């Protein structure tokens, strides 16, 4: 089973490759000629498929090619005038199936240069044939007709090759003898002659027509003047009649006009008087209206000024209120900030004082504890401790008592004793200090010393007997 699947896959892959390899698409300007064992097919501007390795594909360009056709030597016309002809043709391989098959048989494998060379020879031969069958005048005057004859003559030969002639044009003719130029001169002179004859005939016809026209104009003028005289006479009679009638009518009109003028004057005077009265009434009304308008304008102006002053006062009051509010807010903000700063400083001072008090309290507690411990020790030691303290402090007391003497530069003493007296004074000062201690504390340092000395003397023999 797996082998069958693999074989099927290989077959499908080969079919796909075969389809891809055989697919082709021809552009509109190229013919794909597919030649196979059975038949030949042509593809132009469409896609198709061919059997690879079995069919052959050839390409033919369908683009237009331009071919310059010139006679290599002078060609005699039917009038035996040698001329050289220069033309140009546009050709292409025909898209017709029959012509394509002929082109495939005749042109496949041929280069563009070779194709143009072959077509040029065919065109030149047909052009020489047509030039030899027409006259020089016809050739010069009817180039398009000659080109059409050449095209019609060359189409069958080109169709045999599968080529289509799109168009053919003759550019110029030349002859070595100057016949074409002489024909031009003759034609120019003939045209000039015909023009002069036509001009003379025209001038003659103009003179005759002018004379006839003058006669007819004179007759018409006489007849017109006659009619004008008759019409002028009739017009004078009519004018006289009309003048009489007009004078009569004028007199009647003048009388009627005088009467109407009197009536009109009366009417005008009455109307003028009424108009004057109406004008004065109108002026009075206008004056009253003007006074009212001025009063309203003055009232409006005063009211407008009052409104403007009121509006300005309100706006100034609002601005002053806003300014005061802003100043109050600024002062309140400054007070709050100052209070916060004072609070912060107070907190800092309180914290520092608390820390200092805590330190002092700790120090006091430590000192109190030390004094308490010292007092307890002294209590345990009793008088001995007090005596010990006194003995320890005694040198300092004596030192302080003698200190003033150490700062004295010179001592002058009179009488006996001298230095002994100084020592005695120092000791007296020490005794006075001891007396001060006794009075302030109630402790008699002399008694303590005496008692301590006696105790030492009393206890010494017992100690020795105990030792024995």
- Domain assignments of the chain as residue spans, ordered by start: 22-61, 383-455
**Considering only CA atoms, which of 443, 406, 444, 438 is closest in space to residue 422?**
406
Instruction: Count CB-CB contacts under 10 A for residue 47.
Output: 10
Q: Three-state DSSP class for 417?
A: coil
Q: In terms of DSSP bridges, do strands 23-25 and 47-49 run parallel, antiparallel, or are they unpaired?
A: antiparallel
Q: Three-state DSSP class for 427?
A: helix
| Contact present, 434 and 462 (Cβ < 8 Å) | no
Q: What is the rounded CA–CA span in Å between residue 103 and residue 60?
A: 8
Span 240-252, pLDDT tens digits: 888 888 888 887 7
Strand partners of residue 68: 88
State both tokens at 248. Answer: 């009569």
What is the residue whose two structure tokens read 């009121």? 310
What's the confidence (pLDDT) of residue 34? 81
What's the confidence (pLDDT) of residue 464? 40
Helix (H) or strand (E) holding 393, with range, is: helix 383-406
What's the confidence (pLDDT) of residue 419? 58
Strand partners of residue 76: 82
What's the confidence (pLDDT) of residue 465? 38
Q: What is the rounded CA–CA span in Å between residue 358 and residue 364?
A: 10
Backbone angles phi, psi at 220, to 5 degrees: -65, -35
Strand partners of residue 56: 35
Q: What is the rounded CA–CA span in Å between residue 441 and residue 337?
A: 59
State both tokens at 239. Answer: 């004018």
What's the confidence (pLDDT) of residue 459? 52
DSSP 305-366: HHHHHHHHHHHHHHHHHHHHHHHHHHHHHHHHHHHHHHHHHHHHHHHHHHHHHHHHHHHHHH
What's the confidence (pLDDT) of residue 190? 63
Cβ burial 249-267 (10 Å sphere, 16+ → b, else e): eeeeeeeeeeeeeeeeeee
Q: Give the CA dihedral 120, 123, 126, 128, nearest 10 degrees.
A: -60
Q: Is the pTM of this model over 0.85?
A: no
What's the confidence (pLDDT) of residue 466? 37
CA angle 364, 369, 373 (to 5 degrees): 150
| Contact present, 161 and 106 (Cβ < 8 Å) | yes
Residue segments in the chain with a per-residue pLDDT below the cut of 50: 460-468
| Contact present, 60 and 35 (Cβ < 8 Å) | no
Under the phi-then-psi rule, with left for phi > 0, alpha for psi from -120 to 50, and beta for the rest, what region is 76?
beta
DSSP 208: H
Backbone angles phi, psi at 132, to 5 degrees: -70, -15
**Considering only CA atoms, which of 168, 38, 56, 152 is closest in space to residue 104?**
56
**Considering only CA atoms, which of 224, 95, 256, 212 is closest in space to residue 163?**
95
Backbone angles phi, psi at 142, to 5 degrees: -130, 65
Of the CA atoms within 13 Å of residue 151, those in its CB half-sphere come to 18
What's the confidence (pLDDT) of residue 243? 82
Cα dihedral sign for 180, 182, 186, 187?
Answer: positive
Under the phi-then-psi rule, with left for phi > 0, alpha for psi from -120 to 50, and beta for the rest, what region is 218?
alpha
**Considering only CA atoms, which of 58, 60, 50 is closest in space to residue 24?**
50
């Amino acid at each position: 089973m797996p082998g069958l699947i693999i074989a099927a896959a290989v077959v499908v892959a080969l079919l796909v490759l075969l389809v891809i390899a055989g697919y082709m698409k021809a552009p509109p300007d190229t013919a794909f000629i597919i030649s196979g064992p059975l038949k030949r097919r042509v593809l132009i501007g469409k896609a198709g498929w061919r059997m690879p390795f079995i069919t052959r594909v050839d390409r033919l360009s369908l683009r237009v090619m331009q071919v310059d056709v010139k006679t290599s030597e002078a060609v005699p016309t039917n009038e035996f005038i040698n001329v050289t002809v220069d033309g140009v043709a546009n050709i292409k391989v025909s898209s017709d199936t029959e012509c394509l098959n002929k082109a495939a048989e005749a042109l496949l494998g041929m280069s563009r240069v070779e194709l143009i060379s072959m077509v040029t020879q065919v065109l030149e031969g047909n052009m020489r044939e047509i030039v030899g069958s027409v006259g020089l005048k016809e050739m010069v005057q009817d180039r398009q007709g000659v080109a059409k004859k050449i095209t019609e003559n060359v189409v069958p030969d080109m169709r045999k090759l599968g080529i289509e002639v799109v168009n053919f044009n003759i550019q110029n003719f030349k002859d070595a003898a100057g016949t074409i130029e002489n024909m031009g001169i003759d034609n120019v002179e003939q045209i000039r002659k015909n023009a002069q004859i036509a001009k003379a005939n025209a001038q003659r016809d103009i003179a005759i027509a002018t004379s006839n026209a003058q006669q007819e104009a004179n007759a018409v003028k006489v007849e017109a003047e006659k009619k004008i005289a008759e019409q002028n006479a009739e017009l004078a009679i009519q004018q006289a009649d009309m003048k009489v009638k007009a004078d009569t009518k004028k007199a009647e009109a003048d009388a009627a006009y005088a009467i109407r003028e009197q009536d009109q004057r009366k009417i005008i005077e009455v109307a003028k008087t009424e108009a004057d009265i109406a004008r004065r009434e109108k002026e009075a009304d206008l004056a009253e209206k003007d006074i009212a308008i001025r009063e309203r304008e003055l009232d409006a102006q005063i009211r407008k000024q009052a409104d403007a002053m009121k509006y300005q006062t309100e706006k100034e009051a609002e601005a002053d209120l806003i300014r005061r509010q802003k100043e109050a807010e600024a002062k309140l903000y400054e007070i709050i900030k100052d209070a916060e700063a004072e609070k912060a400083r107070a907190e800092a001072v309180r914290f520092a004082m608390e820390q200092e008090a805590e330190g002092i309290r700790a120090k006091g507690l430590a000192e109190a504890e030390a004094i308490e411990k010292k007092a307890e020790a002294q209590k345990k030691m009793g008088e001995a401790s007090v005596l010990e303290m006194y003995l320890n402090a005694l040198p300092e007391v004596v030192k302080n008592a003698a200190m003033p003497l150490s700062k004295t530069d010179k001592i002058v003493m009179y009488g006996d004793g001298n230095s002994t007296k100084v020592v005695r004074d120092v000791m007296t000062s020490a005794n006075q200090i001891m007396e001060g201690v006794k009075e302030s504390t109630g402790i008699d340092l002399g008694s303590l010393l005496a008692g301590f000395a006696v105790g030492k003397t009393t206890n010494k023999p017992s100690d020795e007997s105990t030792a024995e």
